[in-house]
Amino acid sequence: MTAPPAVARANAFRRLHFPGINEADWSDWRWQFKNRIRSLANLADFFTLTEDEANAFTGKMNVPLAITPYYASLINAENPQDPLRRSLVPVKAENFLSAGEQADPLGEEASSPVPGLVHRYPDRVLFLVSELCAVYCRYCTRSRLVGDHGTVGDPSREQAIEYIEQHSEIRDVLLSGGDPLTLPDDRLDQLLGRIRAIDHVEFVRIGTKVPAVLPQRITPRLLEVLKKHKPWLSLHFTHPNELTPEVADACGKLADAGLPLGSQTVLLRGINDDAQVLTQLFHGLLKIRVRPYYLYLCDPIPGSHHFRTSVDAALGIMQKIRGYTTGYAVPTLVIDAPNGGGKIPIYPESIIGRQGDSVLLRNFEGKTFSYPESRAGNGHRFNV
């Protein structure tokens, strides 16, 4: 019997690069994490590097390098334009600072009352619980923090938890980092337990890319921890090439455990800035019970110019998606405004004017329609 393409792909990659490793080791998330690609020499063992990619290591790297063997098996070793490769393998352009780029583009440090906590919105906080990720995206908003810097510190940090306890207006806590699902099960259990014990906290979320890049992490023990504390999960997906059987299985287990799943995607030039690519991604996510939630414009971190699209291009893509697929597959396009402005939704123009008591609307096909607007005191009583 012929193995399915995804299984054949993984087996071929494992035999080529890890000939002494059996399937049980390959499927162990700890083995995957320990054997991540972390250096130029290591990277060259897996991919035929271009001069541009190799030269990226001669300057100061703004984002560390890490790619799990599983995720590396999804990448075309010979094609530098492979979308997953472009999102994780550095290029020389990262060494150049463009106008408007800054290490803390969202002004998080100015809204940080205690280390590891960002309190930008009135009723919610961002709790940075780890600096580690399974892979490091080259466009990471928190490139200044991620890696083995020790900047985030102990995830059970008392200062942050005490701050949440002391501020009754906080009803929503988002765990991020780094990636919270890189924490050991017991530490994650303890941390979620402490937060859930705070009476005024109603809503707990975890932001993670682990199901996309390290689906082996979704173990029975982790599912027990998550099912116990019932957080919502905001998953980070970039491209339909990530939607493998392994990922579908991981997301299925999370959904079966009763965990609400949403996705967040960053719009990236030359990677996913195409309506057909994004529609394929969003449809694929719905099929594995993940609701597309946000589509972000790329934050202006240092060396990110080659990733960023224009606002007009983003609006044009959304115009091609909206109306041509189910509304469940259409995320909200947002800009996380620099210097602490928060998430601002942006939309293609739909209200184009007024005509008498009617509003003129433009639909997804560019056609104009008139909607009679209700005005107080202008209605007529129906005879019933």
Catalogue the active-site residues: 120-121, 124, 133, 137, 140, 142, 299, 336, 343
112-116-117 Cα angle (round to 5):
45
b vs e for 159-171, b when ≥16 Cβ sit within 10 Å of the residue's Cβ?
A: ebbebbbeeeebe
Angle between helices 245-256 and 220-229 (to 10 degrees): 40
Residue (of 200, 254, 251) closest to 227 by Cα position:
254
**CA 299 centroid distance within chain:** 13
Please give the C-alpha separations between residue 305 and each of 96, 251, 299, in angstroms, as whole numbers: 9, 32, 10
Give the span between the Cα atoms of 379 and 130, in whole angstroms.
58
Q: Phi/psi at 126 (nearest 5 deg)?
A: -105, 120
Q: Which residue has the tokens 């690519």?
A: 277
